[in-house]
């Protein structure tokens, strides 16, 4: 498989010690009416290239908010998020969209496939934002479908696929553009045990064999166990040492 | 009571959508009311006509006049009470766009035959005395800002030249349907002028107006009149005033048909809009209906809920539409008074508005209701996440 | 681009009932819009085609139609000697004195009477209108007889006006010996008889109008000013095309005002319908919008996608409305022209311009209906969309 993915980054280029993502002094709060609710307070940490990080914590701990900030779909009140040397908090809306298109792949709890597009078309969607030709796009999509082992389902609509299959399509959509980081928000939250295993297996392979940097928010200790590292968030504060044993 | 509350609550669940739907319905009701009123305005002349008045004209067509000598002959016919006559003058005031009806009439008998034209006594006297005098309807006077004593010049189209008149009287209608936008002057004034300039055209009347003693004998009297002039150079055609007015409407029937078709289309358009709203509203709430069903709420209660919601929306739109029709019609009537001298919203129009809104409310709810009743509880609950 | 188009189209198909209902609204509005334009175009064509640019028509000063007009014999004689008039094959001026009156005839279907134009003609009348007129049935009337020709619209619609039938007026029987087709022109709604016969039957002393052809069409202005100021003549000269266009002014402005106000009101209804649909579409697809945005699609792409969806509905509705209205071309409207008081038949006429205008109009409606919902869709924050 690795051979087939020659257009993706090869493993040997990775440098585990290099600071890949730097997060410094992040504050984030939400306004509800007159009330200001702090969500994240003074968060700072680094993520190295090729990391597979699981973010854990109870509901409302701010782990999804942190993920959104790293993925560039939300902005902190203050602080710096530097990814490959680019401080994404300073980017404009349009620049941020461009940045996401080439640097981030998303995996959602409810897959978020476009119901009126086929599996093939869903995977092709992010490639539309690249400069690839139609022929190149086709090749990429087919390759991604092979990796998630769903070539035979490429003309199916999401409604015709099982939950696990849908999530695999969603994962294919996430890595087809060869993004810098993959972010996953409860990727197994809506799946049965067997499908969840499949999905986690796939993510591990993406990390291990292709060197994708993955940040995953999860409730599920089993899922977190697959990660190389686990961080805990509670009441908006990062805990360096795990409080719960996995 | 709870179900009524639920209907209102549901109708405004999506405020934006309900507001837009109501707005659409309001517009449609106004448009429909308008079109109906336009059609009714067309018939205004018929409404205003009297059963005891007959119109005698040349059988060939209106453009051929009748000799003035016919007046005495008609008067002698049994059942005839009074005879007047007149001539369509076809004058233009400054520009063709300022169109209004103007007639040369024999004043004394004409005003007697038309008691619905109310003129102040001193104005009437002054008008009778002065051959160049004119009597004009209230609306026409307002339209051109004329006042008593003004000199008015009409350019003749049938009778060449510039004709000068003095405004001596203003008439008001007794009923709302009376046309207050006509211009009358002395037939004698026209005739004397013709004797000098075009003697062959003098001593003719365009039409005779015949008052009958008893409206029940209108038909036999008109037959007698026509028989009297059968096989003469100028055969006559006598009809009740109503039939005479109707004959004009029949000539423009095609336009009326077009307007009526179009007013049907506006109903269809709004039906589509309301049906769409109901379809969406029900589709979004299918799981809720499934919950209601699982609680044991019966099909007819669910139907009641959906029909009720649809009717709440259409009723509000209908009421707003009716309320707004009146000021809108007023503005329109002022603007288009030369096309439609009489432009009044009738009670029937209001009733029709209500009936149509009701019908739209019902039809729009049919398909969504069927869908809601048929919903499979299990399948639709699955959609709730 | 193709995926985006498919995305819009498939979304429309996935909520079929709503799409159809919205499309029906658009379709009906475009139908009304197109059919009213077609009607005015039909009317315009009829009256413009009726005249020829080289022909001049003379009526009495102040008269707005031939029926009101009178041209005395001695005036006609003066006019006939004008040098600018073209000569026919026989060397005589192409000049016709005509009588035009209205008669009341009952219609075949309803028995209700309507005013029909009877035109008293001379031999030259046919030569002057040879481009428009063609005998389709029967033969020419013998000169100086009570034989008449009926225009095709009259023959079909009025009692006694068909071939070998007869009309009775002015104490005489008039036999219809021929039917003529003058295409879409107003002549198709006339009955033609011998001018002298008509004048004696109606005891008329004067003609209604005089028509002649110019030798050189550029001499019209000079001729007009000379004869209109001639103290022996009280007449007005107009080019035939201009004269017939003037005849329809009131009618076409009535159609225009009625048509435009109706279309505006109706289109508001359809735009509201589209807005309702599109707002619901946005509300139902919040998550999808969030996904697309997080994949890196710009706000403008989202705006475009929803706008395209609305434009697609309106375009489909508009095309359907246009197709529906194109069938109206088979119908002929027959009504009284307020200005001449006479029967006039004209048909709906679809031109490329009207078709383009209708489609453009439907696109405008789709745009207006879709733009606010599309803006709303593109304005929302991604985190709110994904919640």
Which residues on A lie below 8 Å from C14 (Cβ)?
115-116
> Model confidence over C87-106: pLDDT tens digits?
988 889 999 999 999 998 99
With cut-offs at 50, 70 and 90, classify the pLDDT of residue A12: very low
* pLDDT at residue B103, as a whole number: 95
C43-69 burial string, b = 16+ CB within 10 Å, else e? Answer: bbbbbbbbbbebbbbbbbebbbbbbbb
Contacts of C381 (CB under 8 A, 6+ apart): A74
Whether C110 contacts chain B with CB within 8 A: yes
Nearest-angstrom CA–CA distance, A221 and C110: 88
Has residue C238 got a pLDDT over 90?
yes
Task: Please indicate, yes or no, whether residues B225 and B269 belong to a single structural domain of this protein.
Answer: no
Nearest-angstrom CA–CA distance, B26 and B14: 18
The separation between the first and the last C-alpha atoms of chain B, rounded to the nearest angstrom, is: 31
Task: Please indicate, yes or no, whether residues B82 and B227 belong to a single structural domain of this protein.
Answer: yes
Nearest-angstrom CA–CA distance, B45 and B250: 13
C294-308 burial string, b = 16+ CB within 10 Å, else e? Answer: bbbbbbebbbbbbbb
* pLDDT at residue C254, as a whole number: 81
Element at A86 (helix H, strand E)? strand A86-87
DSSP 3-state assignment of C9? helix
> Model confidence over B294-324: pLDDT tens digits?
888 888 888 998 999 999 999 999 999 999 9
Nearest-angstrom CA–CA distance, B321 and B306: 23
Which partners does chain A have (≥3 C-beta pairs < 8 Å)? C
Q: What is the mean pLDDT of residues B351-360?
A: 95
Q: Return mean pLDDT, chain A.
A: 87
Q: How far is B238 from chain C (nearest CA, A)?
A: 13
Whether A93 contacts chain C with CB within 8 A: yes
Which residues on A lie below 8 Å from C308 (Cβ)?
none
Whether C346 contacts chain B with CB within 8 A: no
Which residues on C lie below 8 Å from B233 (Cβ)?
171, 203
With cut-offs at 50, 70 and 90, classify the pLDDT of residue B330: confident
Nearest-angstrom CA–CA distance, B169 and B126: 8
Substitution target from C28, C102, C109, C236 for chain B, most B beta carbons within 10 A: C28
Question: Are the beta carbons of C68 and B252 separated by less than 8 Å?
Answer: no
Task: Please indicate, yes or no, whether residues B200 and B287 belong to a single structural domain of this protein.
Answer: no
Task: Please indicate, yes or no, whether residues B128 and B178 belong to a single structural domain of this protein.
Answer: yes
Give the DSSP letter string of A126-174.
GGGGS---HHHHHHHHHHHHHHTT-GGGTT--GGGS-HHHHHHHHHHHH
With cut-offs at 50, 70 and 90, classify the pLDDT of residue A3: very low
In a domain, B49, yes or no: no
Which residues on B lie below 8 Å from C21 (Cβ)?
272-273, 275-276, 279
Whether A127 contacts chain C with CB within 8 A: no
CA atoms within 13 A on the CB side of B217: 13
With cut-offs at 50, 70 and 90, classify the pLDDT of residue B385: very low
Total tally of structural domains belonging to chain B: 2
Contacts of C68 (CB under 8 A, 6+ apart): B90, B157, B158, C59, C60
Of residues C21, C268, C336, nearest to B272 (C-beta): C21
Q: Return mean pLDDT, chain C.
A: 90
Q: How many CB atoms lie within 10 A of CB C72?
A: 17
Task: Please indicate, yes or no, whether residues B158 and B84 belong to a single structural domain of this protein.
Answer: yes
Whether C60 contacts chain A with CB within 8 A: no
pTM of the predicted model, to two decimals?
A: 0.84
Question: Are the beta carbons of B273 and C101 separated by less than 8 Å?
Answer: no
Nearest-angstrom CA–CA distance, C340 and C66: 8
Question: Are the beta carbons of C273 and B258 separated by less than 8 Å?
Answer: no
* pLDDT at residue B250, as a whole number: 81
User: Residue B144: phi, psi to the nearest 5?
Assistant: -105, 5
Nearest-angstrom CA–CA distance, B310 and B275: 9
> Model confidence over A182-197: pLDDT tens digits?
999 999 988 999 999 9
In a domain, B55, yes or no: no
For residue A81, with 0-12 CB atoms within 10 Å meaning exposed, 13-18 middle and 19 or more buried, which class applies? buried
Task: Please indicate, yes or no, whether residues B359 and B263 belong to a single structural domain of this protein.
Answer: yes
Q: How many CB atoms lie within 10 A of CB A241?
A: 5
Task: Please indicate, yes or no, whether residues B222 and B312 belong to a single structural domain of this protein.
Answer: no
Using the Cα atoms of residue A62, residue A64, residue A69 and residue A73 in order, give the sign of their dihedral. negative
Structural domain including B30 reads: 2-44+253-382
Has residue C325 got a pLDDT over 70?
yes
Helix then strand then coil, % of chain B, to nearest 5: 60, 15, 25
* CA distances for A143 relative to A3, A8, A48, A72, A175, angstroms: 11, 11, 27, 27, 11
Substitution target from B236, B259, B280, B281 for chain C, most C beta carbons within 10 A: B280
Angle at A147 between CA A198 and CA A161, to 5 degrees: 60
Q: Which residue has the higher pLDDT, C300 or A244?
A: C300
What residue ranges define each of the domains in chain A, with the CATH number in brackets?
16-239 (3.40.50.300)
Nearest-angstrom CA–CA distance, C293 and A101: 9
Nearest-angstrom CA–CA distance, A132 and C136: 68
Nearest-angstrom CA–CA distance, A192 and C259: 63
Whether C264 contacts chain B with CB within 8 A: no
Rounded CA Rg of chain C: 29
Cβ-contact C30, C361 below 8 angstroms:
yes
Both tokens of B184, joined, read: 């009358």
Q: What is the mean pLDDT of residues C304-316?
A: 94
How large a percentage of chain C has pLDDT more than 70?
100
> Model confidence over C58-83: pLDDT tens digits?
999 888 888 888 899 999 999 999 99
Using the Cα atoms of residue B30, residue B313, residue B358 and residue B323 in order, give the sign of their dihedral. negative
Q: How many CB atoms lie within 10 A of CB B127?
A: 23
Task: Please indicate, yes or no, whether residues B16 and B77 belong to a single structural domain of this protein.
Answer: no
Q: Which residue has the higher pLDDT, B21 or C246?
A: B21
Counted across chains B and C, CB pairs separated by less than 8 A come out at 155
In a domain, B112, yes or no: yes
* CA distances for B218 relative to B32, B79, B222, B350, angstroms: 37, 8, 6, 35
Has residue A18 got a pLDDT over 70?
no
Task: Please indicate, yes or no, whether residues B104 and B210 belong to a single structural domain of this protein.
Answer: yes
Of residues A68, A74, A106, nearest to C295 (C-beta): A106
Q: How far is C183 from chain B (nearest CA, A)?
A: 21
DSSP 3-state assignment of A243? coil
Q: What is the mean pLDDT of residues B352-370?
A: 94
* pLDDT at residue C79, as a whole number: 94
* pLDDT at residue B384, as a whole number: 40
In a domain, B21, yes or no: yes
Of residues B96, B99, B276, nearest to C21 (C-beta): B276
User: Residue C204: phi, psi to the nearest 5?
Assistant: -95, 140
Nearest-angstrom CA–CA distance, B221 and A98: 92
Which residues on C lie below 8 Å from A29 (Cβ)?
none
Cβ-contact B142, B116 below 8 angstroms:
no
Nearest to B55 by CA among B181, B271, B248, B211: B211
Task: Please indicate, yes or no, whether residues B277 and B175 belong to a single structural domain of this protein.
Answer: no
Question: Are the beta carbons of B61 and C22 separated by less than 8 Å?
Answer: no
Whether C297 contacts chain A with CB within 8 A: yes
Of residues B61, B270, B339, nearest to C102 (C-beta): B61
Q: Which of B179, B202, B234 is the last residue of a domain?
A: B234
Q: Which residue has the higher pLDDT, A198 or B10?
A: A198
Nearest-angstrom CA–CA distance, B60 and C168: 10
With cut-offs at 50, 70 and 90, classify the pLDDT of residue B232: confident
Has residue A240 got a pLDDT over 90?
no
Cβ-contact B211, B53 below 8 angstroms:
yes
Has residue B382 got a pLDDT over 80?
no
Q: How many CB atoms lie within 10 A of CB B237?
A: 20
Whether C10 contacts chain A with CB within 8 A: yes
Give the single-character DSSP code of C329. Answer: G
Q: How far is C284 from chain A (nearest CA, A)?
A: 12
In a domain, B171, yes or no: yes
Has residue C239 got a pLDDT over 60?
yes
DSSP 3-state assignment of C235? strand
Question: Are the beta carbons of C3 and A121 separated by less than 8 Å?
Answer: yes
Q: How far is A121 from chain C (nearest CA, A)?
A: 7
Task: Please indicate, yes or no, whether residues B76 and B30 belong to a single structural domain of this protein.
Answer: no
How long is chain C? 387
> Model confidence over C1-57: pLDDT tens digits?
677 788 888 888 888 888 999 999 999 999 999 998 998 889 888 888 888 899 999
With cut-offs at 50, 70 and 90, classify the pLDDT of residue A17: low
In a domain, B53, yes or no: no
> Model confidence over C216-231: pLDDT tens digits?
999 999 999 999 999 9
* pLDDT at residue A241, as a whole number: 55
Has residue B72 got a pLDDT over 50?
yes
Contacts of C159 (CB under 8 A, 6+ apart): C105, C106, C107, C108, C111
* CA distances for A183 relative to A70, A71, A142, A179, B385, angstroms: 8, 7, 22, 10, 23
Task: Please indicate, yes or no, whether residues B15 and B114 belong to a single structural domain of this protein.
Answer: no
Nearest-angstrom CA–CA distance, B142 and B100: 13
Whether B73 contacts chain C with CB within 8 A: no
Has residue B380 got a pLDDT over 70?
no
Nearest-angstrom CA–CA distance, B114 and A118: 79
User: Residue A65: phi, psi to the nearest 5?
Assistant: -60, -45
Which residues on A lie below 8 Å from C297 (Cβ)?
97, 101, 129
- Closest chain C residue to B160 measured between Cα atoms? C62
Nearest-angstrom CA–CA distance, C193 and C121: 6
Q: Which residue has the tokens 């035979």?
A: A152
In a domain, B111, yes or no: yes
Q: What is the mean pLDDT of residues C321-337?
A: 90
Nearest-angstrom CA–CA distance, B25 and B320: 9
Has residue B374 got a pLDDT over 60?
yes
SS3 string, B228-279, reads HCCCCCCCEEEEEHHHHHHHHHHHCHHHHHHHHHHHHHHHHHHHHHHHHHHH
With cut-offs at 50, 70 and 90, classify the pLDDT of residue B233: confident
Substitution target from B21, B34, B63, B283 for chain C, most C beta carbons within 10 A: B63
Q: Which of B201, B234, B267 is the last residue of a domain?
A: B234
* pLDDT at residue B1, as a whole number: 63
Cβ-contact B341, B178 below 8 angstroms:
no
Q: How far is A129 from chain C (nearest CA, A)?
A: 7
Question: Are the beta carbons of A115 and C14 separated by less than 8 Å?
Answer: yes
Has residue C378 got a pLDDT over 80?
yes
In a domain, B229, yes or no: yes
E-assigned strand segments in chain B:
53-58, 66-67, 80-88, 101-105, 117-118, 133-137, 151-155, 162-173, 182-186, 204-205, 207-212, 236-240
Tell me the longest C-alpha to C-alpha distance in chain A: 56
Substitution target from C104, C234, C249, C342 for chain B, most B beta carbons within 10 A: C104
Q: How far is CA C303 from the centre of its chain?
A: 41
Substitution target from B20, B230, B273, B365 for chain C, most C beta carbons within 10 A: B273
Which residues on B lie below 8 Å from C265 (Cβ)?
27, 30-31, 266
Of residues C7, C14, C295, nearest to A101 (C-beta): C295
With cut-offs at 50, 70 and 90, classify the pLDDT of residue C130: confident
The separation between the first and the last C-alpha atoms of chain A, rounded to the nearest angstrom, is: 32
Q: Which residue has the tokens 């505006």?
A: C264
Give the single-character DSSP code of B203. Answer: S
Of residues A98, A108, A113, nearest to C296 (C-beta): A98
> Model confidence over B122-168: pLDDT tens digits?
999 999 999 999 999 998 999 899 999 999 999 998 898 899 999 99
């Amino acid at each position: 498989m690795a051979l087939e993915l020659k257009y993706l980054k090869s493993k040997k280029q990775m440098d585990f010690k290099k600071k890949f993502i730097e997060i410094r002094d992040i504050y984030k709060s939400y306004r509800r009416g007159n009330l200001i609710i702090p969500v994240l307070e003074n968060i700072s940490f680094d993520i190295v290239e090729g990391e597979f990080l699981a973010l854990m914590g109870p509901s409302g701990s701010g782990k999804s908010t942190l993920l959104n900030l790293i993925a560039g779909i939300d902005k902190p009140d203050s602080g710096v998020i530097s990814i490959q040397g680019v401080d994404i908090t300073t980017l404009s809306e349009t620049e941020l969209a461009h940045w996401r298109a080439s640097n981030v792949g998303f995996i959602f709890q409810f897959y978020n496939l476009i119901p009126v597009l086929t599996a093939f078309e869903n995977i092709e969607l992010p490639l539309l934002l690249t400069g690839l030709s139609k022929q190149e796009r086709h090749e990429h999509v087919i390759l991604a479908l092979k990796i998630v082992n769903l070539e035979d389902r490429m003309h199916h609509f999401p409604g015709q696929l099982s939950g696990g299959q849908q999530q695999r399509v969603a994962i294919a959509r996430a890595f087809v553009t060869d993004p810098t980081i993959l972010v996953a928000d409860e990727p197994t939250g809506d799946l049965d045990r067997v499908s969840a295993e499949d999905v986690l297996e796939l993510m591990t392979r993406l990390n291990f064999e292709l060197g994708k940097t993955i940040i995953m928010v999860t409730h599920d200790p089993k899922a977190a166990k697959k990660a190389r590292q686990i961080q805990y968030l509670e009441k908006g504060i990062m805990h360096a040492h795990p409080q719960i044993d996995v | 009571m709870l179900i009524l509350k639920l209907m209102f609550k549901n109708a405004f669940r999506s405020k934006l959508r309900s507001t837009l739907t109501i707005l659409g319905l309001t517009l449609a009701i106004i448009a429909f009311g308008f079109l109906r009123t336009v059609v009714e305005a067309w018939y205004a002349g018929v409404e205003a006509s009297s059963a005891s008045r007959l119109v005698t004209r040349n059988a060939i067509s209106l453009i051929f006049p009748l000799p003035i000598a016919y007046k005495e002959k008609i008067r002698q016919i049994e059942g005839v009470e009074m005879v007047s006559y007149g001539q369509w003058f076809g004058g233009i005031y400054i520009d063709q766009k300022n169109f209004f009806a103007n007639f040369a009439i024999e004043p004394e008998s004409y005003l007697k035959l038309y008691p619905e034209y109310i003129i102040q006594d001193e104005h009437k006297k002054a008008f009778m005395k002065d051959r160049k005098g004119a009597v004009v309807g209230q609306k026409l006077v307002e339209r051109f800002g004329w006042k008593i004593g003004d000199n008015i010049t009409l350019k003749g189209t049938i009778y060449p030249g510039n004709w000068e008149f003095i405004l001596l009287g203003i008439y008001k209608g007794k009923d709302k349907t009376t046309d207050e936008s006509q211009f009358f002057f002395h037939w004698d004034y026209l005739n004397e002028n013709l004797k000098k300039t075009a003697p062959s055209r003098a001593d003719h009347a365009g039409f005779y107006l015949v008052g009958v003693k008893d409206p029940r004998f209108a038909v036999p009297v008109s037959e007698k009149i026509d028989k009297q002039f059968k096989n003469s150079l100028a055969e006559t055609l006598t009809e009740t005033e109503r039939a005479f007015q109707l004959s004009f409407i029949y000539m423009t029937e095609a336009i009326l048909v077009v307007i009526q078709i179009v007013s049907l289309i506006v109903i269809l358009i709004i039906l589509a809009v309301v049906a769409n709203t109901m379809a969406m509203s029900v589709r979004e709430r299918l799981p809720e209906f499934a919950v209601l069903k699982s609680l044991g709420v019966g099909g007819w209660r669910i139907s009641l809920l959906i029909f009720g919601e649809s009717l709440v929306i259409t009723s509000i739109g209908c009421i707003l539409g009716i309320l707004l029709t009146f000021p809108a019609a007023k503005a329109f009537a002022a603007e288009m008074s030369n096309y439609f001298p009489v432009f009044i919203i009738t009670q029937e129009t209001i009733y029709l508005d209500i009936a149509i809104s009701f019908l739209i409310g019902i039809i729009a709810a049919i398909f969504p209701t069927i869908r809601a009743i048929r919903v499979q509880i299990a399948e639709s609950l699955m959609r709730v996440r | 681009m193709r995926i985006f188009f498919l995305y819009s189209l498939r979304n429309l198909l996935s909520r079929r009932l709503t799409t159809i209902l919205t499309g029906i609204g658009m379709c009906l509005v475009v139908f009304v819009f197109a059919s009213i334009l077609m009607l005015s175009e039909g009317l315009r064509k009829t009256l413009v085609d009726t005249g020829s640019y080289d022909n001049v028509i003379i009526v009495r000063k102040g008269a707005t139609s031939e029926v009101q007009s009178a041209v005395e014999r001695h005036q006609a004689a003066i006019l006939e000697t004008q040098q600018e008039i073209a000569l026919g094959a026989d060397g005589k001026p192409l000049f016709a004195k005509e009588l035009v009156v209205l008669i009341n005839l009952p219609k075949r279907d309803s028995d209700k009477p309507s005013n029909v134009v009877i035109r008293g003609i001379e031999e030259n009348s046919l030569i002057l209108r040879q481009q428009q007129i063609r005998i389709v049935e029967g033969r020419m009337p013998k000169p100086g007889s009570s034989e008449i020709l009926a225009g095709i619209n009259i023959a079909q619609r009025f009692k006694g006006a068909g071939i070998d039938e007869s009309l009775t007026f002015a104490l005489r029987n008039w036999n219809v010996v021929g039917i003529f087709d003058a295409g879409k022109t107003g002549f198709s709604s006339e009955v033609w008889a011998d001018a002298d016969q008509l004048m004696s039957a109606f005891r008329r002393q004067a003609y209604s109008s005089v028509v002649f052809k110019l030798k050189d069409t550029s001499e019209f202005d000079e001729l007009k000013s000379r004869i209109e100021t001639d103290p022996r003549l009280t007449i007005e000269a107009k080019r035939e095309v201009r004269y017939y266009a003037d005849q329809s002014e009131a009618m076409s402005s009535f159609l225009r005002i009625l048509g435009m106000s109706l279309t505006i009101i109706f289109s508001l209804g359809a735009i509201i319908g589209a807005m309702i649909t599109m707002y619901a579409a946005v509300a139902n697809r919040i998550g999808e919008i969030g996904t697309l945005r997080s994949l890196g699609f710009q706000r403008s792409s989202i705006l475009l996608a929803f706008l395209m969806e609305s434009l697609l509905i309106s375009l489909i509705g508009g095309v359907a409305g246009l197709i529906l209205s194109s069938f109206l071309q088979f119908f002929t409207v027959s009504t009284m022209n307020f200005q001449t008081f006479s029967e006039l038949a004209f048909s709906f006429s679809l031109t490329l311009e009207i078709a383009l205008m209708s489609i453009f109009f439907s696109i405008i409606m789709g745009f207006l209906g879709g733009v606010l919902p599309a803006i709303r869709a593109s304005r929302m924050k991604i985190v709110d969309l994904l919640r």
